[in-house]
Each structure stands twice: as C-alpha cells, then as structure tokens.
Amino acid sequence: MDSPSMTAAIRALLRRDLLLAYRHRGEIANPLVFFMIVITMLPLGISPESAVLGSLAPGMIWVVALLATLLSLDSLFRSDFDDGSLEQILISPHPLYFIVLVKVFVHWLVTGLPLALLSPLLGVMLFLPEDGFVPLFLSLLMGTGVLSLIGAIGAALTVALRKGGLLLSLIIMPLYVPVLIFGASVVRSAIEGFPIAGELAVLGALLAVSIVLAPMAAAGALRISVNG
C-alpha cells in the first residue's frame, strides 16, 4: 500500500517544487548574474591579459560557481519552513530521505544546471583554452550536484536560524574542498592534454556517495531544526 503512494507523493512533491520554481523563475537569474559579475571583476582586479586569465580560468570559474551555489542554498528549505509546510512534510509517512532528494534535485535543476550551461560563456570571457570547455561543463554538471547535496545538509542545519546564511557558508565550505579540487583539476588536466576519465570517475564517485549519504544527514538535521 505504501509503494504506490510513495511514488505518487514523490511525483506530487516534484511537481510542486518545479511549479514553485517556475513561478519564481526570476530568481534563477540571481546566482547566474552573481556568477557573471564576479567573473567580470577578475580581470578588473587582476589583469586583462589572456595568458594570466587563461591559466586562472578553470579554478576561478569553479570557485565562483561554488560561491554562487552557496548563496542559493539558503532558500532550499527556508520558504517551506517559514510558511509551515516543512513541518507538514516532516509528519508525512513517506521517508524523508526521498523528500530531501527530490528537493535537492529541483534545487540543482534551477541553480547547478544553469551554472553549468553558462560556464562555456564564462570560459570564453576568461580565455579558457579550447580543450577545457567540454570538461568544464561536465565537471560542473556533476560537481554542482555534489555541491547541492552537501549544501542541503548545511541548509537543513541552519533553516531555523534567522541569520543562517553566513553560518551555512562557514560550515559547508570545508566540505566542498574535495569537489573543488577534483572539479577544477578535470579542466586543467584536459587543457594540459591528459586523459580525464579517471578524474571524472572520482567526481562521479563523490556524486554517488553524496546521493546516498547526504540526504540522510540532511533529513536528520531537518528534524532537529524543526523540532528544536
């Protein structure tokens, strides 16, 4: 009896969150604009030379994508928390794990995926060598998934706090280090002519582990935040 209704519940939640995201589709632009503005500041702050920017590009684009994701995380659970629907979701008989997974997936659809899609444009602006474009897109595609998943843990821990945003960044950033390292190195290795299958596999492994573990931690954190 539970199985069909769980699929129905997941589908309903998916539909609801997608609809909400669509209604606030202006907000999708925020991390993207942030992404672009910061990338614009780089040549202003460092140097407009193609050689300099080109060597910095993989890492810089990755770091800024990371920051943009961080900024958007606060809203993952907050609006549901504010209007009380999060409490209702917690009482539902369906496993919180899947509920969190669905929410994070929608979050990724409206933040991580657009970031990945926009990245080639930014690569052009920063003189990213040709070989780097596809690896940049692929690494961001997978990497932002990991960022959203791990970030959900922080969002869940801080959802009940008023000034949760900065605290969220502080507690989540150290956990982002491995993704950043491997994500950026995929791009750099491709530029230098090395095969990237192994490094992409590591990113994939990080994604797989996060999909399995992160929603559990986030679910526990949600219960603590809401009931606390």
Contact set with other proteins (CB under 8 A): 153, 157-158, 160-161, 164, 167, 170-171, 173-175, 177-178, 181-182, 185, 206, 213, 217, 220-221, 224-225, 227-228
To 10 degrees, what angle do helices 112-125 and 29-45 make?
30
User: Which lies closer to other proteins via its Cβ, residue 13 or residue 222?
Assistant: 222
Give CA–CA dist 97/107, Å, rounded: 15
User: Which lies closer to other proteins via its Cβ, residue 95 or residue 120?
Assistant: 95
User: Which lies closer to other proteins via its Cβ, residue 114 or residue 215?
Assistant: 215
User: Which lies closer to other proteins via its Cβ, residue 38 or residue 180?
Assistant: 180
Residue holding tokens 């992160």? 214
CB of 140 to other proteins, least distance (A): 17
CB of 209 to other proteins, least distance (A): 8
CB of 78 to other proteins, least distance (A): 15
CB of 137 to other proteins, least distance (A): 21
CB of 215 to other proteins, least distance (A): 12
User: Which lies closer to other proteins via its Cβ, residue 41 or residue 170?
Assistant: 170
